[in-house]
Structure 1
């Protein structure tokens, strides 16, 4: 087998565009015929992805694997951290919950175990793939954390990978952030950096040239590319930082108004992404009752701390307003949002929070939910009952609770291929609860749902709607094409190989 050539993408800060650039390189290398895989040793995110064998990894690595044209595995993200509170997180190891830990406990007690997991995972990938595109996290210049970090320069050292540093010019101060990050690195780590990328550029490249020349002279490092801002890129976001760029309020300028409740511990909010691609739908992420308005559809998404977020709904006045809206609007709860629709939620083992019991919205009066210590993570298929339709649907489940009904004759929403029943749908179809993440990715269901909303407003149906998988594929191609046109791939390849020769030379001494 050909040698494995890794490259690592690190950033000057979170949301610099590391995940997107890794996605782009995965598609570029795959298109060039290389067996390519993504890798992120440790990911902190509430948006997760289910592998074909029913394991949970960071959503970004799942999307990157899709871009590379391969199935995602837990070797690509062996450690996933899912915050459940300000200081507590669930640690997921190779796709299964390991333990709930505080930050200090994780840093002190998990470090050696983490290093071993990471090295084992990387070596498995390196034995199978020709190119590995590694993603860092945050910044490598977090000097208060660098003695025991598991995701930046320690991984570059382990993998013998050259590092490309990315700065986001859209936030301003890009030269200062790049140069400052380099200056704060230890000399050994500084020598791993083979070049930089300036990301999210808007404007005239000629006006930037003096800065590029200065930077290369000052640091001795090449600017490998200036990547333009890519508007309306239809690629799923990794974490809640992306929500800052979403519409949260404002006038409705499309025919169907959709409000997604954005509680503090919202997870897998990308469930709403397919609705954002519909030309007649406006999707708003709502954080206050004043911004809720009178939408046609209210979505209660997943939550990493369902009881805490349910309490937030009550305190913020959102709960009463959602119950009022349920009289006129369609309300759909997904996973944690589905659990909130019921009469009561219990967490007797304090799986997610110190609260052991809280009242739900009571919209599904006969349902109550108990959180358990075991987590269900599975890809699922079945048929959804909606109106007179039995629609084939697929999705994935990630939850630690069981929802039960006082009556065995509840109006379930989906009959799984296994024969199990999932969720709830009201007789008029205006109230739906389900554990199915990805439900809106099913084109037929999404189309019928939106046309039902249109009909309720006296609007004619629209039958020409986008195919979501095609949108994703076009997005990967568009991203890869843009990055390839603005990144000096020949110079990047030259610097990667030069670094590998230097590393092998040191190893031979």
Structure 2
């Protein structure tokens, strides 16, 4: 029988995802067959598995930390918000339907069967399951509907470790309050708590920990220090949107309201001479050397945002002055002349003009394209001089089809014979459906070196090996967490 433990939080963004990844890595290095599981994830930062199924990015990170190829069993339900009260529901990696929150909960019984089938399949193949909850575990208004926190713990009879974030303040109150709001049977499942993101002298914290242990009669299993890690964030709670500071190449990323798959830009953020700036209003682009338009879960609404904020005027001004622009997925659609959504797939608006910087037209389709794919460039653009035979790989997640309607040329021939992307006739604009394109080290270094040369910066012979860097970061995470938790007690909880 599989061993399992569940990590629940006092709230959102307390570090559940990253600590689950840490424990996956720790037990993987101990020789166990360990896998992550999250029954329901709400995120716009998603991934496509090798068999063409969509899942949350956080479980991809956890799978990589566990030395596994990600599978949709690790995250059977993915909610991708489309409005403030509704989401596109992805079940077992495929679009199920769009539902408002109230309607979603009416499907609880069916969703439970989906969850249990995935969990049982996963647990039959692994020794240890590391389970992540969602948000805060003490949402008392949702307990009878819960399928991701204590409701899931009850379904699979899992012991629980509670995580609190001291960096935001009030950690003792949040742990105590969460514990006391739980039903008595749920409290019995909690076997310990972890204080996360600590800065300072732990000796000053110790008296409070002892008092809290006496109040709730569960032990503290560790105090984890604040860590700087180059590991993908789960969603738009990320601090990366604050940008970074430095000299070198200045890249401006349009911060769309419905931004998706912002992890596309993580490899760029890791380059020492690249400075990332997120653009959310007019007048922020004066120092920008390259403009990136990211993916979107609601392309038409995000196109309106660009017009309403006057960001389009800055984009046109920078384009006329010679600045290059790259759009990915929804950003690719935004660069075209027109976006049509007669079936109201993403929006109640049927059509909208795009920026018109590419001679393309996008028609939204009811069927979503989800696939991992490889190909090679057949045409280059200004930033990509050495394009001949350059291989590139990534994954597609989109509901629309884009066609070239005049002058411009396709960018990439895919392995399935289809063409992807568009390059403008002037060579300054490039759009593609390939998420993860900047994870291709040769491609990334080629365009960055062009910009380095243009700015008189030192050229880089070899770019970062992104895959190797991630492996080092997972080990760094595991080493730090191992040093600051009571692993013996956690193994006892797991009955190992």
| TM-score range normalised by the length of the shorter chain | over 0.9
Q: What is the alpha-carbon distance in structure 1 between the residues aligned to residue 454 and residue 494 of structure 2?
A: 58
Aligned equivalent of 1:504: none
| Aligned equivalents of 2:93, 2:316: Cα separation in 1 | 36
Deviation beyond 4 Å, 4+ runs, structure 1: none
Work out whether 1:235 is the aligned partner of 2:228: no
Distance 1:362 1:428 in 2: 13
Counterpart check, 1:360 vs 2:357: no
CA deviation map 1:395-415 (0-9, x unaligned):
0000000001224x7411111
Q: How far off is 1:497 after superposition? A: 2.4
Other-structure match for 1:286: 279
Q: Structure 2: which 5+ runs fail to align?
A: none
- Say what the alpha-carbon RMSD is for the aligned residues: 1.4
Q: CA deviation at 1:428?
A: 5.3
Measured after TM superposition, the shift of residue 326 of structure 1 is 1.8
Contact conserved, 2:40 with 2:76, CA < 8 A, in 1?
yes
Identify the match of residue 332 of structure 1 among 322, 326, 343: 326
For the structure 1 residues 81 and 20, does the alpha-carbon distance in structure 2 shift closer, same or farther, using more than 3 Å as the test? same
CA offset digits 1:237-263 (Å, max 9, x no partner): 111111x454348xx631100111111
- What corresponds to 1:420 in structure 2? 418
1:371 and 1:246 mapped to 2: Cα distance? Answer: 28
TM-superposed deviation, 1:324: 1.6
Shift of 1:325: 1.4
- Greater CA deviation, 454-463 or 353-362? 454-463
Whole-Å Cα distance in 2 between the matches of residues 307 and 142 of structure 1? 34
Match of 1:395 in 2: 394
Q: CA deviation at 1:465?
A: 2.7
TM-score by length of 1: 0.94
| 1:131 counterpart = 2:128 | yes
Aligned to 2:300: 307
Q: In 1, are the aligned partners of 2:386 and 2:446 still within 8 Å (CA)?
A: no
Tell whether the 8 Å contact from 1:164 to 1:197 is kept in structure 2 after alignment: yes
Q: Pick which of 284-293 and 137-146 moved more.
A: 284-293
What's 2:77 paired with? 79
Partners of 1:411 and 1:426 in 2: how far apart? 7
What is the 5 A alignment of 1:105-116?
105-108=103-106, 110-116=107-113
Secondary structure of 2:69's aligned partner: coil
Do the aligned residues in 2 keep the contact of 1:197 with 1:225 (CA within 8 Å)? yes
For residues 267 and 450 of structure 2, the distance between their equivalents in structure 1, rounded to whole angstroms, comes to 17
TM, length-normalised to structure 2: 0.96
Matched-pair contact (CA < 8 Å) for 1:197–1:226:
yes
Corresponding residue number in structure 1 for 2:42: 44
Once residues 291 and 141 of structure 1 are traced to their aligned partners in structure 2, the CA distance between those partners, rounded to angstroms, is: 41
Distance in 1 of aligned mates of 2:69 and 2:243: 34
The DSSP-based 3-state class of the residue aligned with 1:114 is helix
- Whether the aligned pair in 1 keeps the contact of 2:404 and 2:422 (CA below 8 Å) is no
Work out the CA distance in 2 between the residues paired with 1:295 and 1:46: 26
Q: Would you say the 8 A contact 1:6–1:159 is kept in 2?
A: no
Q: What does 1:101-250 correspond to in 2, within 5 Å?
A: 101-108=99-106, 110-231=107-228, 233-242=229-238, 244-248=239-243
Which of the residues 379, 392, 401 maps onto 2:372? 379
CA distance, structure 2, for counterparts of residue 428 and residue 462 of structure 1: 27
Deviation, 1:217, is 1.2
User: SS of the residue aligned with 2:52?
Assistant: coil
Q: Does the 8 Å CA contact 2:341/2:363 hold for their aligned counterparts?
A: yes
Q: Distance in 1 between matches of 2:332 and 2:6?
A: 39
Q: Following TM superposition, by how much is the alpha carbon of 1:457 offset from its aligned partner in structure 2, in angstroms?
A: 2.1
2:254 paired residue number: 261
Q: How many residues align?
A: 489
Match of 1:436, SS?
A: coil
